A = this chain, B = another copy of it.
Amino acid sequence: MERVYRLTISCPDRVGIVAKVGQFLSGHGGWIVEANHYSDLASGQFFMRHCIKADSLPLGLEQFKQEFAAIADAFDMQWDVKDSGEAKKVILMASRESHCLADLLHRWHSQELHCDIPCVISNHDTLRSMVEWHGIPFFHVPVDKSNKEEHFRRVSAIVDEHHADTIVLARYMQILPPDLCQRYAGQVINIHHSFLPSFVGAKPYHQAAERGVKLIGATCHYVTEELDAGPIIDQDVIRVSHKDTVEDMVRLGKDVEKMVLARGVRSHLEDRVLRHGNKTIVF
């Protein structure tokens, strides 16, 4: 994959944004390989993402930022620009269930997911060997009712030590405390094993079996302080029938969970996800 700069913009919609940004880029010889636009008519907000060949620009990332700042100010933009060559640092957190973790590790190992994984954190020691086979450090940080605060203090310390910019909760079954939700806002991705907003909280497959639904699902979302209520990145479902027990649903659901999580993480890593209130634009 060619190295690109990924420019993402959100600003109040008005005439001339596209022209101005286009002029800026072409003025520097920037070759656009992908461009996405979205005008939210209801809110009047405009969203944009460009990928520009890094080699076509005579600007480094810092210089790009400095030069673009004037346009950004003029149009009141929230914006960012990333170099695809600088891999994000992603910490994976898991519990005892291996399917999401194994799936992400395999995608990383086979170079499908472009990121660094400085370490994996788990409240159980179960998955250590699997993680270490991949050459990734594994931190076992136990948790029980008595030491939650201590647990999250250690988690937070590990995240900071490794300069992680993304945390993926790959079926990590603990609820993040509000201060961590705020501190890492927009950086923590969770997979919930239901088609939200149905079946929030614990044991969603039991809830699904109880209700007799004919499809079960999974939801990948950014974590916010309200449980399972953060901005949704991706969702999917799979058909079930009366023949499927809760155990069958758990098994079938695993495939949906890992697929949806992998897609959501990939979109995040490629800077395709822009937040808009409690919703997402996924370019």
Contacts and interface: CB of A to CB of B under 8 A. Distances in A.
Interface of A: 14-16, 18-23, 25-27, 29-42, 56, 98-99, 102-103, 106, 109-110, 112, 129-130, 133, 195-199, 211-215, 217, 231-237, 241-243, 245, 251, 254-255, 259, 262, 276, 278-282
Contacts of A21: 22
A274 to B, nearest CB: 9
Contacts of A130: 133
Nearest to A24: B19
9 contacts: A15-B56, A19-B22, A37-B37, A98-B109, A99-B106, A212-B278, A212-B280, A214-B282, A242-B280
Given A23-B23, A234-B214, A241-B282, A15 B30 contact: yes
Nearest to A251: B112
A152 B79 CA distance: 57
Nearest to A39: B33
A19 B26 contact: yes
Contact of A16 (B26, B112, B259): B26
B214 A231 contact: no
A18 B15 contact: no
